[in-house]
Homo-oligomer: A and B are copies of this chain.
Amino acid sequence: MEFLVRTENTLPPDTPDDVREELRARERERAMELRAAGVLRRLWRVPGRGATIGLYEAADPAELHDALVSLPMWKWMDITVEALATHPQEKAP
């Protein structure tokens, strides 16, 4: 099933640049693994903010939760999830 996932970055602004960059690099690496595993399908930026909107696919909410918690930035993200229902139009021939 698919989920719409919003993240807001809550990392304090005074975080040293090297810590920030190291976190970002690890975050990107883990995100790429989730893409490879078919869990993270699309990712957008909310313009102007340290925030993203993502389209995820997982077997159920618990599996999605585990994927999001596995992100190195998780402790510094405010995340909200919406479960999406497939629309009949999507199955149109």
Besides A47-B68, A47-B81, A49-B78, 19 other A-B contacts (C-beta < 8 A):
A3-B83, A13-B75, A13-B76, A31-B89, A32-B89, A32-B92, A35-B89, A42-B90, A44-B85, A45-B61, A46-B84, A46-B85, A47-B84, A47-B85, A48-B81, A60-B86, A61-B84, A61-B86, A62-B86
Q: Is A26 an interface residue (CB 8 A)?
A: no
List which A46-93 residues lie within 8 A (CB) of chain B.
Answer: 46-49, 52-53, 60-62, 64-65, 68, 75-76, 78-87, 89-90, 92
Number of interface residues of A (CB under 8 A): 42
Q: State which of B3, B45, B92 has its C-beta within 8 Å of the C-beta of A65.
A: B45
